Structure formats: structure tokens, C-alpha cells
Amino acid sequence: MTPNPITISSSTTLPEAYRLMVEHQTCCLLVMDQGTLAGEVTLEDLRRKMPVALGLYGPRPGEQYVDNTPVCHVMHKNLKSIQADSSLIEAARLLLDSHMSTIPVMDGGKLVGTITERDILKALVVQVEA
């Protein structure tokens, strides 16, 4: 897993979330509200919902609202998470079943990291080649 994932609050705006993704070279940010995991937002969510703010299109009258839209309007809620001591295959099955690219890793109720398809692929390739 990747420890200490970047988190934002649900009131973070879409352009700010995008800026953080670029800065930290990640495609997914976890949303925390008052210490509780509230959801996650992916680059794909932003691409689909804010092409104006991504600079692909020039602004049109009435579209400035995108700049102020908080991520709570586009984030995925009711996230599945996995405990840090779960097996890799359990995490893999959860990723496939939930159709998510990143799953939060918890230690009890505390967020301690994230796990992605790439993390598991890397581990499995090393295992197969050993």
C-alpha cells in the first residue's frame, strides 16, 4: 500500500483538487471530513465533470460556477475500505467488485494508506517470478 495518502475535505473545490492531483502525481484523492472518511474523487471524475476548469475549453457565460464547485458534488460516497492486515487477494477482489481504482486501507477506524491495482500487480509479478 501507499502510506499517508493525500486527503482533502469535501468543501475543496474541483480546480484545487485537480491542482493537488497534478502536484502529487496521483489520480485519486480521499475525502476526509472531521477525521472520517467521506469519499474519494478521481481524475476521471474531474475530467468528465469539469472540462472548463481543466483548461480544455474557454469559459462561457454561466460556467464560472465550476471554479467554486466543491468535490462533495462529484465524489464517490459510501466507499469500501480494507483493513491493513487483510490478504492481497482480498484487496484485489474488493478492487474488482467495487470498480474502484484505489481503495483506502484502514487500521481500525484510522486511515493508514491506499492500495491500487498497480500495487497488487507489482506484488503478484514479483511473486510469480520468484
Partner 1 sequence: MKETLVRDWMTLDPITVSSSCTLPDAYWMMINNNVRMRANIMLMKLPVSRVMTENPKTIEVNAALLKAARLMLEHKISTLPVMEGSKLVGIITESDIFRALVKQLES
What length does the chain have?
130
Give, as ranges, the residues between 40 and 59 that touch partner 1 (CB under 8 A): 47-48, 51-52, 55-58
Q: How far is the CB of 129 from partner 1 (least distance, A)?
A: 8
Among 89, 98, 107, 110, binds partner 1 (CB under 8 A): 89
How many whole angstroms separate alpha carbon 122 and alpha carbon 51? 32
Query: 48: Cβ–Cβ under 8 A, 6 or more apart, which residues?
Result: none
Give the N- to C-terminal CA distance of the chain in Å, as an integer: 20
Write the interaction track for partner 1 spanning residues 98-117; mark x where CB under 8 A is met and - where it is not. Answer: -------------------x
Q: How far is the CB of 99 from partner 1 (least distance, A)?
A: 10
